[in-house]
Structure formats: structure tokens, C-alpha cells
Amino acid sequence: MEQNVSDERADVVDHGENTGLCRLPDEVVLALADIGEVAREGLLALSVTAGLAVLGEMMEAERTVLCGPRDAKDPARGHTRGGTTATSVVLGGRRFAIRRPRVAAADGSCEPQLESFVVASSQDLLTQVAMERMLVGVSARKYRRANEPMGHEIAESASGESKSSVSRRFVSGTRAALAGLLGRDLSTVEVAVLMVDGVDFANETCVVAMIITTDGTKIPVGLRHGDTENKTLVTAMLADLVDRGLDYSGGLLVVIDGAKALASAIKATFGDLALIARCQLHKQRNVEGHLPKAERPRVRRRLGEAFNHPDPDQGLAAARRLATEIEGTFPDAAGSIREGLTEMFTVRRLGVTGSLLRTLMSTNPIESMISIARTTTSNVKRWRDAEMRRRWCAAGMLEAEKSFRRVKGYRQMPALVTQLRAHAAAVTPTCDTGKEPIAA
């Protein structure tokens, strides 16, 4: 290696002489040769080398500001130099050992930290990298291979890439993600729609919640883990949303998959101020589950015509007729149609049409979020406990949020908000407006 460096340095000098350029000073030539040697190992190697050098200069400059120039005598100075100490900083998703300049208060009372070092040594940088990579499918075992090559010598001086180190950072990061999700302040958010769904996550049940604001923005806000999708579990989650500032005094449209536990918990928490809308796709699947395959296309078509009828009253009547027609031969399917049937037409009764209607007629937005969350767990081989499931689910929900756009038809949201407020005024005892509440 030393012979190669010497040869390269000689080449730099010869190149300058042979091309007729002005001969550079020897110290500049040697510096260029050293940089050239590092550059051959990769751009990141050069960046790390330069970055560590710049950081060293920044820390020394900061120490000079506090302590004054080296060897300068100033009795009024508030700080003194204290040599250096071994520590590490983060660059390129790795941790590198450095010597940190020390500063001490002149009276010996404390040792202030250099701001440049505090930023460069932050564990948050490594945690963020670990989170981003593992959520897109890079396992802890393969984390080192995912880093950009930077040459043998520089890579040997790096740390923080072991499986255990990466796993610890990921656990820390997902705990922070869970705390952030469950601690979101909702008091400053104007909410028009709440979507709640019970989903299978890692072979166990999680109940998740997403809000849609008055301008159409989607925000994941709730998560509960349990054995089943029961009223107690859902009520606890909804009560937590209220405690965190969820304001439903102006009316709230709640879209659910149709589970009775969800509907019961919503009514217990929000009372008449909440209008429940059931997912059309879930209803159709539930009905078809009680039918032989030969009958499913016909019933699916009839149900679709009823649900999509522009007049909600006529659509409701058509669905009831279908239930009566099949009651003799398929009583369970008929019962499934009738269960919560009026709530299938809630969104239409609010005057919603077009793209926003299609968005709110199903729980697809929240199911899409969970689908993305599930893909982040592709490398998990063993689920240890409920806490691990909650951490991964929360991290996946927040990862999905990064790709969120406003709901389709968001320009209709003001009209929906107006209808919800009119409903709230009609059902609030202190506001006798004379208007009839919207039937759900």
C-alpha cells in the first residue's frame, strides 16, 4: 500500500510537469495524492474522510471561540482547553471513532458540550437509517451489506453495523413510533371522518383508526391489540382519541367494516353525533358467504344496483325486496342483508356524490394502510409478544402515511362538513333548529 501511494504521488508530480502546468507546492501534491487514494475506494469513502476532517475543524473552531487562541493568555476567559477524549460520531449510516476536543469551565464547574459534536453524534441519525431500511425489507443480518461500499480501511474503522446493534436501534425506533402514534394531539385537527377497522396483523387482531380532516388529509391515529374485535377493545381506543382532543361536537361520519362490536362502541362513545356508514364491499362479501356459488353473481348484481341507486330511499327499498325474495331459500343471506342495512346508505343521505362517495362507501383507505404495514414485516420470522406486534404495526402505519395523498374527491369535503354540522345541530338538545336529523 505504501509503495502504491508513493507511486501515485510521483504520478501527480510528473503529471503537473509533463502537462506544462505550474508546479504545485509539495504539501498540496501530497494532499492530493492522499485524497486520490481514498477516492479510489469510492465516493462515500471520500465523503467520510472529508466529513471527519471538516467536523474536526468545526469542533476545534468552536473550542477556539470558547477558549480563545491556543497559548493566548486571557485571565477573563470563561473556558479553558482540556485536551481530547475518545468518542464517536455518525456518518454514512455508520459510527466512526474520533478524538473530541474538550472544553472546561474556568472555575471547573462543568464541561460544556460542543454543539457541532452533539449534532454529529446523535443516535437518532442511526436509528432513522435502521428504521427506514428494515421497514423496506432489509433484515438486521443484511444491514451491513446494504451500506454503500467505502473501502476496506475505512469500513474497518466503522461500527454500529452488527445485527444486535441494528436490532436495538430498530426496537428503540419502533417504540418511539408507537408512542408518537398513540400520543398525537388531535385538539388542533378538524376531523370530518373517522375510519375504524379490525384487521389481522401477524395472526392476531389489531383495531386501527384513521381520521380524514376537513380538507381531505388522512392521518393514522389509533391502534389497539387484542384477542378479538370486541366492544371493550374498541371503546378503549375511541375513548383515548377523545382524551387526546378529538372534537366530534360538529358531527362525525364513522366508516366501519360492519362489525357489531365497532358499531356498538361508536354509539356508546359518540352517541347521536356520530353517523355510521358501513363498508359496501364487506357487506357484499358477507352476504355471498351465505350463498352457493351459482347464486352469488345474481345477488351481487342486485345488491350493487341497490347500493348505487342515486335515491337512497329507493335503494334501501330495493335491498329489502331482495332480502324478502331470497329469505325462503337462503335465510342466512337474507338476514345478512338486513343487518345494519340503513347504514349502507348514510353517505348518500349526506348528499355526497362522485369520487368522494366512492371513497367513503368502503374502508379501502384504512385497509390500504394496513396492507402497506403488513409488507414491512416480510422478514420477521418470530413474533415474540403483543408489544412487538404493536411496535411493528405502528411503524408500518407511519411508513404508509409517508405515501398518503388527500382522499379522492376532497373538494367535496366542505359540503360534507356542512351536512354533518346540520345533523349535529339537529340532534343536540340545546340547539332546537327545527331540522330533522339525518337517518343512519
Q: For 360-399, what is each residue's pLDDT tens digit?
A: 999 999 999 999 888 888 778 888 888 989 998 999 999 8
pLDDT band with cut points at 50, 70 and 90 for residue 273: very high
pLDDT, one tens digit per residue, over 164-223 is: 666 777 788 888 889 999 999 999 999 999 999 988 888 888 999 999 999 999 999 999
Question: Is 123 found in the same domain as 210?
Answer: no
Same domain, residue pair 324 and 281: yes
- 2 falls within a domain: no
Residues 195, 113 share a domain = no
Cell numbers at 255, concatenated: 366508516
201 and 155 within one domain: no
Amino acid at 239: A
Ordered DSSP codes for 171-215: HHHHHHHHHHHHT---TT--EEEEEEEEEEETTEEEEEEEEEETT
118, 244: one domain: no
Q: Verify that 348 and 220 share a domain, yes or no.
A: yes
143 with 254, same domain: the answer is no
Range of the domain at 298: 187-427
Is the pLDDT confidence value at 67 over 90? Answer: no
Flag whether the pTM goes above 0.75. no
Tell me: the pLDDT tens digits for 14-36? 544 444 445 556 655 555 555 55
Question: Is residue 11 assigned to a domain?
Answer: no
Say what the pLDDT of residue 279 is: 94
- CB under 8 Å to 261, separation ≥6 — which residues? 198, 229, 230, 231, 233, 234
What pLDDT is attached to residue 119?
A: 78
- Convert the pLDDT of each residue in 306-349 to its tens digit: 999 999 999 999 999 999 999 999 999 999 999 999 999 999 99
Residues 6+ apart with CB under 8 A from 212: 191, 192, 193, 194, 195, 218, 219, 365, 407, 413
331: in domain: yes
In a shared domain, residues 50 and 81: yes
Q: How many domains does the chain have?
A: 2
Q: How confident is the model at residue 439 (pLDDT cuts 50, 70, 90)?
A: low
pLDDT bracket for residue 126 (50, 70, 90): low
Q: With a cut of 70, say whether residue 12 has pLDDT above it.
A: no
Query: Which residue among 169, 198, 218 closes a domain?
Result: 169
C-alpha–C-alpha distance, residues 355 and 411, integer Å: 10
Pair 243, 425: CB distance under 8 Å:
no
Residues 227 and 204 sit within 8 Å (Cβ to Cβ): yes
Q: Where are the beta strands (DSSP E) in 314-391?
A: none
From CA 66, how far away is CA 62, in angstroms rounded? 7
Amino acid 154: pLDDT: 52
Q: Which residues contact 63 (CB under 8 A, 6 or more apart)?
A: 81, 101, 103, 114
Alpha carbon of residue 383 to chain centroid: 21
Residue 50 lies in a domain: yes
Residue 433 lies in a domain: no
